[in-house]
Homo-oligomer: A and B are copies of this chain.
Amino acid sequence: MAIDHACQKVYDYIDAHFAEHVANFQELIRQKSVSPLNLGMAECAALVERRFRAAGCQKTEIIPTAIHPIVWGEIWNDAPATMLVYFMYDTQPVEDEAWTSPPFAAEIVRRPGLGRCLIGRGAINSKGPMSAFLDAVASIRAVHGRLPVNLLLLAEGEEEMGSRSLQAFVRDNADRLKRADCLFMPLSDEDDCGTAKVTLGVKGIVYFELECSGASWGRGPQAFDIHGSSKAIVDSPAWRLVRALATMTSEDGNRALVEGFYDEVRPPDARDRALLDELQLTFDPTKMMIEIGDVKEFIGGTADRRALLERYLFQPTLNIDGIWGGYIHAGGKTVLPHKVTVKMDVRLVPDMDVDETAGRVRRHLDRHGFPDIKMNRMHGYEWAKTSPDSDIARAHIDAMKSFGHPVEVWPIAPGTGPWYLFCKMPLNLSCVIGGLGHGARAHAPDEYFVIEGEGGVSGFGDCEKSYVRTIFEYAAVRARGGRAAAGR
């Protein structure tokens, strides 16, 4: 078959240039780009632009935004199909966590059962997949001279901060974006047994802080932490926040008691249910416990995998991300804190709405007697979902299957991303996340990406090849006429 032959030549090229591609990946990890702390962002944007050029972009641009720049690139071949490819070049911070390799050294170490792994912040989320995609594109060009599709490349630097600037960019750049026929996000999501995951959607999120302070309450210490012995006659914002938080969930902390929280939750539809029925056949909760990070129990247990999956994907959550106030260092300073702050997030499932949900949290606090607790909204994404019958979904699933791996199709991911910007009007693109390759521990210490797998685990080369194949399959689907225009 023509695709097999065309791809195999690129696969051989990738194998022959593997060391060079791994070095490109390491360079990206070593270039810090911690968006919330503004570490290395401009430098990393410049590096990404160089990589876009190396991949073959005739046109690149570093576009300033209110916070961190967006990097844009175009490879235009006058092909009949155009893929918009979304990357993020920023990462989460690293705290004083227990990393066994330094988080920005990009060391490659062997891990039993996985193979040789690159350890580093951003390895799986998402510099590894970005680097692999760009070298996949460069390899197609090296072998065939040109790509079978046009590519529009977009790398944002605020994914870990809520993609605020991306919203403005999408709004203001309809002209360059409307040339796209679909959106693809390279994100290697194969498990360590070789099962490849294709994801057709993301949850939304509302991220906010609640701040309980004497200053806004009018009681308790007004401006700073006072001597702890004053507690006998001075009210405590810390106890007040405890009481406010205690009203927000069930005893076990697993069901939100915010009024109306679940009102818009839509149960999985027939297509979702069909995907869940298939998913449960391969879904391995024990593996997931290890991947998520040394978890021993899931809520509701693991006996009913179908129910566990549905809870994971189709239930919204109310989570405490962090809490702090008062004296938090060594020893025993006795103070009555004037302010305690909690960071929280809600993960939104269809058909929940960002503003509606944030408003419900606010109203819940007000109604329960806490109008003084300040709610500082930090960012919000809507949820997004794409049909498994869309061209890009079919092309990507076919690409994954061509490697002989089991393929799981996830109707939606438990995590979030700014896809709604592209999936909803006016762009209305179908969006798919996927790729071979295995990594884990996003946002956690010892984040890794497998370079050379062992025991059935794919490596970094397989990741690049899966992107090569996706590009060729998409060109083929589109060349065959694709679906009706409505379903592109």
A residues lining the B interface (CB < 8 Å): 35-37, 92-93, 95, 97-98, 160-162, 203, 205, 207, 214, 218-236, 238-240, 242-243, 245-246, 249, 251-254, 292-300, 308, 311-313, 315-337, 340, 343, 345, 347, 378-379, 413-416, 442-445
Contacts and interface: CB of A to CB of B under 8 A. Distances in A.
A427 to B, nearest CB: 25
A322 B299 contact: no
Given A218-B296, A253-B240, A323-B238, A331 B35 contact: yes
Count chain B CB atoms within 10 A of each CB in A95, A340, A442 and give the residue with the most. A95
Kindly report how many copies of this chain are found in the complex they form together. 2
B333 A443 contact: yes
Given A92-B333, A334-B443, A335-B443, 18 more contacts: A35-B331, A36-B332, A37-B331, A97-B224, A207-B334, A218-B296, A219-B296, A226-B293, A228-B347, A230-B295, A232-B414, A233-B300, A236-B320, A239-B252, A239-B320, A324-B324, A327-B343, A332-B343
A136 B340 CA distance: 44
Contact of A224 (B219, B325, B413, B444): B444
Contacts of A326: 320-323, 343
Contacts of A443: 225-228, 333-335
30 contacts: A36-B329, A37-B330, A93-B331, A95-B327, A207-B332, A220-B295, A222-B294, A224-B294, A226-B293, A227-B442, A228-B347, A230-B295, A230-B414, A231-B317, A234-B292, A235-B252, A235-B299, A236-B254, A238-B320, A239-B249, A239-B320, A242-B246, A243-B253, A320-B340, A322-B327, A323-B325, A327-B343, A332-B343, A332-B378, A335-B443
B295 A222 contact: yes
B37 A329 contact: yes
Contacts of A242: 242, 245-246, 249, 253, 320
A78 B325 CA distance: 53
B243 A246 contact: yes
A323 B321 contact: no
Given A205-B334, A347-B232, A295 B328 contact: no
A330 B161 CA distance: 10
Contact of A227 (B224, B253, B378, B444): B444
Nearest to A92: B333
A224 B293 CA distance: 8
Given A253-B239, A444-B226, A233 B296 contact: no
A328 B344 CA distance: 11
B232 A311 contact: yes
Contacts of A224: 97-98, 293-294, 444-445
Contacts of A323: 238, 323-326, 328, 340
Count chain B CB atoms within 10 A of each CB in A252, A315, A332 and give the residue with the most. A332
Given A331-B93, A331-B161, A299 B227 contact: no
Contacts of A298: 233-234
Contacts of A92: 333
A154 to B, nearest CB: 21
Q: What 4 A-B pairs have minimum CB-CB distances, sorted nearest first?
A: A239-B253, A36-B331, A322-B326, A246-B246
A211 to B, nearest CB: 13
Contacts of A218: 296-297
A297 B97 CA distance: 41
B254 A235 contact: yes
Contact of A221 (B222, B293, B337): B293
Contact of A331 (B235, B254, B331, B378): B378
A341 B1 CA distance: 61
A333 B231 contact: no
A225 to B, nearest CB: 7
A333 B320 contact: no
A222 to B, nearest CB: 4
Nearest to A310: B232
A283 to B, nearest CB: 12
A345 B334 contact: yes
Count chain B CB atoms within 10 A of each CB in A36, A214, A222, A444 and give the residue with the most. A444
A328 B322 contact: yes
A415 B347 CA distance: 45
